[in-house]
Chain A
Amino acid sequence: MNTDILDVRRTYESLRKSNTHLVQSSEIATACVCQNLFKLDYPYGAITSDKDYLIANTVHDIMSLCMGGPVIENWQSSPNECQDLTRKIVNESREIVNGVMEDTLDVALKENRFVPDDFKDRVNESYNGLITGITRRLMKYEKPLKVITEATISNVKNHHEGRIDALLEYHDGYGLLDWKSYDLSKTVSDREKWQLIANSLLANYRYCLNENDWSKYRFSCIVHYTGAYFPRMETIEKEVEKIKINRKFAHDVLCGVRVHAQRPNFCPVCDKGLEGSKECQFYQRDARLFYEGMLPAQYDKLTRQFFAKRYAILKERAETHLHKHVVSILIDRYGEEEAIRRLEKTGVICRKFTYDFDDGEKVILSGADNDIPLEPRKIVRIIGKEKDKPLLSCISEQASVMEVINNKITLSLRSKIAVRRAKRQLLDLPIILLRDELNLTRSMLRPIHTFHKLAADIFIPQGFMMS
């Protein structure tokens, strides 16, 4: 027994000394827009938007429940009366929509968040717009066998992770959906498209075990306000390489490798003077002054301290993916079943759970025995093990352990909506609990950026910065 545990512990030990970063699809998309823009977020921490995505998140939550319910139930291939069908779906979704809005408002109230007066109207409008987009454009395809929503897929070997809004499963393949609650025609970059293609790579991994295998790919689509965008296969083929290059770039940056960021001919942020452009120019000038050896000595010293701190924070971000890396390495080494058995002995994975009960917010699972190696406040990923799908691509939800008594474990999911989603698509599958971590590093970078700018303000003569 000890040799199994020792093997797992040694894997952890070796990984602690290496980089275990995963790049999110959304980050890859940002790097595709402009590599400097990606660095602005990580490692600079200069993105300081006060935006609260309450409405967009609520619409996503509604879609995650309605897709598997009223939408799929009313699916018609190439419907004649799109408006009628839209109205029917919207009417049948009323209960879900109202429920999600009430739950969201409850949480917002508890957390003391700002809620706009027209919150409900805007959510309803966005939802109606998306359903219109689905009936008008997406329903040209036949009804899928199954819908999976909010699927987190980690392809550890390629350092890639993403959360896919919805996957439509057909007997011979899949369709990938992404919701945008705004009108796509008014956007200024192709960021949404790149995110969609990056997610398609993850979906290929889920269905074919290989991100380059497009044999199960049927379509991908951004459903937006009253419309839908389907990238053509030629476009995808053309863009995949760009995505891979930028994924490597983002991974290298996170790992602290010094890579030169390429500025595109046209940057929709800097060239249009959008939010973030001043910060971007600040760091570009800083880098230029550094290479020219023009940084004042004290400022240079402080800058080095700022970057040391930034990379310490990035290391913390990498550690949040440590468990996934161990799982991936052991699966490669021993195969999935044996790897799970070994990880179970170490308490990194727990399985043989069955769904017992939920009170709308918390889920109680029953274990096979009284020795559940988890404690309150630990973060876990509840994975519904799907047949023939890699473990880290199966349907999952994140939760924190509330209580462990004998063979019962109480888990608190992120929201009531997550509980409802889990009940619909996850809890009737064989359940595996994998240890997980929260990534709270983004907010730690912001103050460093503030002090970095302050130091520049004090030490760098005005003329230097303007040149």
Chain B
Amino acid sequence: MIYLNPDQQRILKWRINSGGIAGVIGPPGCGKTTFGALQAIKLVSEGYANRVLLVALTNSAANEFSRELSIVLGPDASKFMCVRSGYAPGADNSLPIPFSNELDVIKKKQIVICTTQSLKRLSRKSSPVRFDNMIIDEAGIERLEHLLSPFVLGINQLGVQMMKESIGYGINSIIELASTCGVVATVVGDPKQSRPIRSEDYDLSAIEWVLKCAKCDTLYTTYRLPDDLAMLVNEFAGYQGLTSAPEIAGRRLVVDCNTIDKEFRNIINPDKVVTWLDLDGTEEMAGPSSWYNDLEARACVRICHEIKKVAPSKSIMVVTRYAEQRRIVSKYLQQLGLGVRVMTTVGALGTQSDIVIFTIVRNNPERRIGAIGSLQDLNVAISRSKEKLIIVGSFDMMLNAKPRLHNLGVQPKHNFPQKLAQLVSKEKYGEIVEAPPILH
């Protein structure tokens, strides 16, 4: 028996009883992937669809779909009903769901999992596979053109015929065109967590297109963020109602304070879910567009080392906006042999850890915050943690940040770094601690 919360029940009912294309917004930890897998199972098991396609942009996200399906269906049923298709080396072979690119095999299965890039294998002109329902994950990072690959597999020629006969309908966008051609798709994502890579400020992401042209609903219950962090994220990103699931609301880092080195006691402080370590490091340019901050990198590694000492079973993740900072932190961690993941904000999408350390990197007298000043990057960085979030970087830099101007020199409407600093500084959602001498 699968338990669904009221949001999930409402959205599932709505999507089963309605056709066309629709959007589901999933704030951090609200179980977007789980919901997608459940929806697919419900659709095929209750006869609402013959064949459902689950699509994600990356192989790791597609594997997450497979994992969720395997858990819910069990090994035998998932092996019988599902197939993973696409790029073979990218598929997780440890899961019971078989892999195949053979159209004959795929056509016999009811749930097909694939990445966007590999869908071309299913759309062979001679014998395309058709899906009467599809769920598309991570649509915040995709662009509209990415959505069209799965949509092609959902075209219903009967719908096209009907459309020709009633040409009076107003179709003003590609989404509306696909919808009226019989494509049934639930596009899942969160425009407040991700933006398409390298897109201009004025470009809409795939999920934003769907929100603009179709109906949408939101999942509001997070299964990742404890109460304080959920409230901080809710207020920061303006989700208007994100709350912790009751069973995880009071979750805290459990560690004996006396075992923590006194220099790190305030930083790891288990009573506070959010701690901001105010550290005045120096930013350095690297690569064509990246940055690093050596002092912050070393501080992150030392904190990781201390946490591993007092809470060895806890998973730790260091998050940064910049690839170069990730490289430097990884290099230091490699030297110490600590099993800690280091991710960029893009890579961290869809992942979580017990403890997250977010390194800001940028710190300059002009207070130019650059790319880390975006809502999406900050939101991802602060919303990966299940028990404790430690922000490492200059507090003053964030409080007085000058966000990057939009194209054509337009001042952005919101100053998100400042908003985050203000929310933490009120001590409502966390505390700011000075860096101990050992970290300088």
A contacts, CB < 8 Å to B? 2, 5-6, 8-9, 12, 48-50, 110-113, 298, 301-302, 305-306, 309, 312-313, 316, 319, 326, 346-348, 371, 373, 375, 405, 440, 443-444, 446-448, 450-451, 454-455, 457-459
Knowing A112-B100, A113-B101 are in contact, say whether A313-B177 is a contact too (CB < 8 A).
no
Query: Do B327 and A373 touch across chains, with their CB atoms under 8 A apart?
Result: yes
Inter-chain CA distance A2–B171, complex, in Å, is 53
Contacts of A111 in B (CB 8 A): 87-88, 101
Knowing A375-B327, A440-B117, A443-B117 are in contact, say whether A458-B164 is a contact too (CB < 8 A).
yes
Q: Which listed residue, A316, A348, A444, A450, touches B288 by the CB 8 Å rule?
A: A348
Contacts of A313 in B (CB 8 A): 145
Query: Do B160 and A458 touch across chains, with their CB atoms under 8 A apart?
Result: yes
Q: Which listed residue, B117, B289, B331, touches A9 by the CB 8 Å rule?
A: B289
Query: Do A12 and B172 touch across chains, with their CB atoms under 8 A apart?
Result: no
Knowing A9-B288, A309-B144, A458-B167 are in contact, say whether A451-B172 is a contact too (CB < 8 A).
no
Inter-chain CA distance A319–B144, complex, in Å, is 19
Contacts of B148 in A (CB 8 A): 309, 444, 447-448, 450-451
Inter-chain CA distance A305–B213, complex, in Å, is 14
Contacts of A112 in B (CB 8 A): 88, 99-102
DSSP majority for the A interface? Answer: helix
| B117 to A, closest residue via Cβ | A440
Within 8 A of A (CB), among B130-173: 143-146, 148-149, 151-152, 155, 160, 163-164, 167, 170-173
Contacts of A326 in B (CB 8 A): 288
Inter-chain CA distance A173–B208, complex, in Å, is 57
Q: Which listed residue, A50, A113, A298, A446, touches B171 by the CB 8 Å rule?
A: A298
| B150 to A, closest residue via Cβ | A447
Contacts of A319 in B (CB 8 A): 198
Contacts of B146 in A (CB 8 A): 444
B contacts, CB < 8 Å to A? 87-89, 99-102, 117, 120, 123-126, 143-146, 148-149, 151-152, 155, 160, 163-164, 167, 170-174, 177-178, 181, 198, 203, 285-289, 323-324, 326-327, 330-331, 334
Query: Do B160 and A305 touch across chains, with their CB atoms under 8 A apart?
Result: no
Query: Do B334 and A110 touch across chains, with their CB atoms under 8 A apart?
Result: no
Q: Which listed residue, A312, A347, A348, touches B203 by the CB 8 Å rule?
A: A312
| A309 to B, closest residue via Cβ | B145
Knowing A298-B170, A458-B164 are in contact, say whether A444-B287 is a contact too (CB < 8 A).
no
Contacts of A346 in B (CB 8 A): 286-288
Inter-chain CA distance A302–B173, complex, in Å, is 6
Inter-chain CA distance A50–B117, complex, in Å, is 16
Inter-chain CA distance A431–B81, complex, in Å, is 50
Query: Do B177 and A451 touch across chains, with their CB atoms under 8 A apart?
Result: yes
Query: Do B177 and A454 touch across chains, with their CB atoms under 8 A apart?
Result: yes
Inter-chain CA distance A111–B144, complex, in Å, is 28
CB proximity of A303 to chain B, nearest CB, Å: 11
